[in-house]
Amino acid sequence: MSVPGAGITRFAVRGTTRLTYEDVGDPGASAAIFLHDLLADRSSLRPLADAVRAAGARVILIDARGHGASAALSSRPYPPTELAGDVLAVLDNAGVAAADVIAEGWGGATAIAVARMAPQRVRSLVLIQPDLPGVLASDDDARSRWAWHTARERLSSAATAAGKGLNDRAVMIVMEARRGPGWEETLDRASRGAVKRNAPALAAVLAGAEGHEPAPEAIAALAMPALVISGTNAVETDHLVARRLAASLPQARLLMIETTPPLPLPDASRAEIADAVLTFLTEVPGRG
């Protein structure tokens, strides 16, 4: 049986923010919530969500604050902890006690924050090329520390540009850091449109991200099963982040997906990612 009105936009309100999401599938099935990348929206993860739903899960696709149809009425910073509160508000609104949290890129920082704030609500974590360079801040490896220093400088430059209303400049810094020069060629038309539409959220997002450096002991305390996925052609910082998270999360495994230039990141719609996620979810204890 499907949730009534499956596929339509639903709403949850938290403070002055109205959050939009889709809730599809059997309401009695195990739920998975999907958190998209920066400057994307919930549609970017729909192919993967469809595969998870076809396997019998209930899936929830959320537009992050300031993205998609989740308009933000406040210009204050959006740190990962605030965005994690949004995710919990959506789960509450949907009546979901616990879910598998599947996140791509920047959504990975929110996923980690949700797991830290309410570990009982997170049955498992899937992190697809997580964008969380702060985990390298206290690394003993000199290469990792340099990668974090470089990422921090780029973040500061992008935040300054966005704070001045120079959204095109901020977008270029952010996207080149993740996808390299010519990043527009690595996105389809819909994704390029989403980047343009969501660019006004950068000032609040980047201001909230500055100084976000999860302590190693905080990551090590997250005991739920986790799958970390990285692309073989990802930039070095993304490789280091994926490996650090996979090594730090107690029940994590790392999966490397073959990617070739000019595609540095694994597209979440790829069949091998869906296969890996479905296999992982079947092994998660407590799923109905």
Residue 78's pLDDT is 87
**Number of domains comprising the chain:** 1
160 part of a folded domain: no
Residue type, 32: A
**What CATH number corresponds to the domain at position 68?**
3.40.50.1820
Residue 160's pLDDT is 95
Domain ranges, residue 65:
10-133+215-282
DSSP state at residue 283: T
What pTM did the predictor assign? 0.94
Phi, psi of 257 (to 5 degrees): -105, 130
Residue 149: partners with Cβ closer than 8 Å, 6 or more residues away: none
184 part of a folded domain: no
205 part of a folded domain: no
267 part of a folded domain: yes
Residue 73's pLDDT is 61
Report the C-alpha dihedral over residues 232, 237, 243, 247, rounded to 10 degrees: 180
- Contact predicate 65/201, CB 8 Å: yes
Pairing of strands 58-62, 31-35: parallel
189 part of a folded domain: no
On the question of a cis peptide bond just before residue 261, with omega within 30 degrees of 0, the verdict is no
- Contact predicate 131/106, CB 8 Å: yes
Residue 212's pLDDT is 83
Reported as a single tens digit per residue, the pLDDT across 22-50 is 999 999 999 999 999 999 999 999 999 99
Q: Determine the distance from the C-alpha atom of residue 139 to the mean position of all C-alpha atoms in its chain, rounded to a whole number.
A: 22
203 part of a folded domain: no
Average pLDDT across each block of 10 residues of the chain; the chain has 288 residues. List them in order: 56 91 94 97 94 96 94 77 96 97 96 97 97 92 93 94 95 92 90 94 91 89 97 91 96 93 75 94 86
269 part of a folded domain: yes
154 part of a folded domain: no
* Listed residue (127, 77, 76) closest to 106, CA to CA: 127
